Amino acid sequence: MKYEPVIGLEIHAQLRTRTKIFCGCSTAYGAAPNTHVCPVCLGMPGALPVLNRQAVDYAIRAATALGCEVQPVSVFARKNYFYPDLPKGYQISQYEQPLALGGGLDVVGGDTPHVGLTRIHMEEDAGKSLHEGFVDSSRRTYVDYNRGGVPLIEIVTEPDMRSGAGAAAFFSQLRDILVWLDVNDGNMEEGSLRCDANVSVRPVGQQRFGTKAEVKNVNSFRYVQKAIEYEIDRQIELLENGGTVVQETRLWDSATGRTMSMRSKEEAHDYRYFPEPDLPPLVVSDERVAAVRATMPELPEARRRRFVASYGLPDYDAGVLTQSVGLADYFEQVAATAGNVKAASNWVMGEVLRTLNDRGNTIEDVPLAPDALAGLIGLVDKGTISSSTAKDVFARMYDSGRSADDIVATDGLAQIGDESALLSIVRQVLESHGDAVAQYRAGKTATFGFLVGQVMKASKGKGNPKLINGILRRELDGAA
């Protein structure tokens, strides 16, 4: 490889507020066009923006979790450009003084173990141009301003990544954290999370960066990887053929698997940024940051480590169980009630996840309450049912709302743990298998397993295996 790719990402994440960043309009997705609008988000003359407090708290939460330094004072600025989906003719963003600086994320897998962050700033989203689905679509473009003014954070990384796969791994893990923090819904199809990739290449060993192209608004991890890989190949081929890369904005076309030039990239001065005169500087006290921090859920990595340290779970279990807040909470509730941590882990990772996957559900959809599953684990631990019967009971209780106790009692699934009942079954089996008994007593001890199997069968699988073993051994050896 003669060239080294250099990749930085800019990720726009919609904050999960009910209302927009500067007005009281709803942020709900999917409403009829232009029904969630008011004079403020339509940019009417004289209408004044008021900053949404919850949006700021969410932004602080994301910044804190990502190790950024929340700035005591940040400033909203007008980013001026003309586009039909921007009714004011400018977007309210933050420029010279963003909300948070620095930070980073340790990435598991991929080729970049740590991706540094440059900054996180707050801004409003633009509306959406609609080009299709109208009688006269070929002549006209329609605009839906429902999304205009929806609160976003833009997370800007350092140019730390070196491959499409590494960038996709970072983006995917960043999404997991934002969703875990409950600041973003992670829904890339609805546009609540979007990624722009800055891609350049340079000869290996060269310090100076090559000219970059920006690929806009890629909305899946796979496409991020493919778009970057395409862009790297395109730029290397250009350079190899004596051409130069031009700084521009490009669009990813998932249908053709290519990026296409959209416009020459604006420089910052093209936007004529200046401080937003209608909003005071945003002052964030240490107390406010501390208060937000106090409401934050334990982060996945910390929770994973705690599961290993305090429950003694294997790394693997801890990794699977901390895939989402919901799953980790569910496991902890089962474990607390059942008092058997490893069994709780096995059931949640095994039958619970398998059933959810089979149905395309998530842990939020699970109909089986944690204490119900704990009840089932308790019956196995007490020896009331065998572990194979337990799987059957699990299937019967999953949707029904019936308790394990109830199912085992009414469906007659309890193990036979009564010595005298088992003894009579053992004696019947020994009587009808005289040959096997003789073989055993002649020293062919392997026959013992066969006899255990016969007793199990005679008990219809409900005999307690431990008891059967003991009784059988006593009967065979004692009478010898």
Q: Least CB distance from residue 49 to Zn ion, whole Å?
A: 9
What is the distance between the alpha carbons of residues 125 and 20, in angstroms, rounded to a whole number?
9
**Cβ atoms < 10 Å from Cβ of 104:** 17
Binding range to Zn ion, per CB under 5 A, among 36-44, 47-55, 224-232, 269-277: 36-44
Task: Classify 127 in phi/psi space as left (phi over 0), alpha (psi -120 to 50) or beta.
Answer: beta
CB 151 within 8 A of CB 12: no
Among 25, 100, 107, 195, binds Zn ion (CB under 5 A): 25
Question: By C-beta, is 41 or 368 nearer to Zn ion?
Answer: 41
CB 387 within 8 A of CB 362: no
38 binds Zn ion (CB under 5 A): yes
* Side-chain half-sphere CA neighbours of 172 within 13 A: 17
Question: By C-beta, is 149 or 210 nearer to Zn ion?
Answer: 149
Q: Least CB distance from residue 183 to Zn ion, whole Å?
A: 21
Q: CA of 63: how far to CAs of 67, 154, 285, 289, 457, in Å?
A: 6, 11, 14, 10, 62
458 binds Zn ion (CB under 5 A): no
Question: By C-beta, is 124 or 332 nearer to Zn ion?
Answer: 124
Question: By C-beta, is 93 or 459 nearer to Zn ion?
Answer: 93
23 binds Zn ion (CB under 5 A): yes
Binding range to Zn ion, per CB under 5 A, among 22-30, 101-109, 242-250, 445-453: 22-30
Question: By C-beta, is 16 or 304 nearer to Zn ion?
Answer: 16
Closest CA to 380 of 424, 350, 357, 421: 350
379 binds Zn ion (CB under 5 A): no
Q: Least CB distance from residue 127 to Zn ion, whole Å?
A: 11
DSSP state of 349: I
Among 41, 155, 380, 436, binds Zn ion (CB under 5 A): 41
List the beta bridge partners of residue 194.
12
Q: Least CB distance from residue 149 to Zn ion, whole Å?
A: 6
What is the distance between the alpha carbons of residues 224 and 218, in angstroms, rounded to a whole number?
6
Numbers of helices and strands, H then E, in the chain: 16, 17
Q: Least CB distance from residue 251 to Zn ion, whole Å?
A: 29
Question: By C-beta, is 90 or 180 nearer to Zn ion?
Answer: 90
Binding range to Zn ion, per CB under 5 A, among 15-23, 179-187, 431-439, 463-471: 15-23
Q: Least CB distance from residue 60 to Zn ion, whole Å?
A: 23
Q: Least CB distance from residue 39 to Zn ion, whole Å?
A: 7
Buried b (16+ CB within 10 A) or exposed e, 354-371: ebbeeeeeebeebebbbe
CB 20 within 8 A of CB 149: yes
CB 154 within 8 A of CB 269: no
In terms of DSSP bridges, do strands 90-94 and 114-124 run parallel, antiparallel, or are they unpaired?
unpaired
Binding range to Zn ion, per CB under 5 A, among 17-25, 114-122, 138-146, 257-265: 17-25
What is the distance between the alpha carbons of residues 332 and 338, in angstroms, rounded to a whole number?
10
Binding range to Zn ion, per CB under 5 A, among 25-33, 103-111, 125-133, 230-238: 25-33
CB 199 within 8 A of CB 228: yes
What is the distance between the alpha carbons of residues 37 and 19, in angstroms, rounded to a whole number?
11
Q: Least CB distance from residue 90 to Zn ion, whole Å?
A: 16
Q: Least CB distance from residue 59 to Zn ion, whole Å?
A: 19
Q: Least CB distance from residue 41 to Zn ion, whole Å?
A: 3
Query: Using CB under 5 A as the criterion, what x/- string covers residues 315-334 for binding Zn ion?
Result: --------------------
* Side-chain half-sphere CA neighbours of 245 within 13 A: 25
Question: By C-beta, is 40 or 467 nearer to Zn ion?
Answer: 40
Binding range to Zn ion, per CB under 5 A, among 37-45, 199-207, 361-369, 463-471: 37-45
Question: By C-beta, is 51 or 353 nearer to Zn ion?
Answer: 51
Q: Helix, strand, or coil here: 277? A: coil
178 binds Zn ion (CB under 5 A): no
Question: By C-beta, is 40 or 179 nearer to Zn ion?
Answer: 40
Burial class (CB in 10 A: 0-12, 13-18, 19+), 434: exposed
Binding range to Zn ion, per CB under 5 A, among 21-29, 61-69, 269-277, 300-308: 21-29
What is the distance between the alpha carbons of residues 130 and 137, in angstroms, rounded to a whole number?
9
Question: By C-beta, is 78 or 175 nearer to Zn ion?
Answer: 78
DSSP state of 323: S
Interface contacts to Zn ion, rule CB under 5 A: 23, 25, 38, 40-41
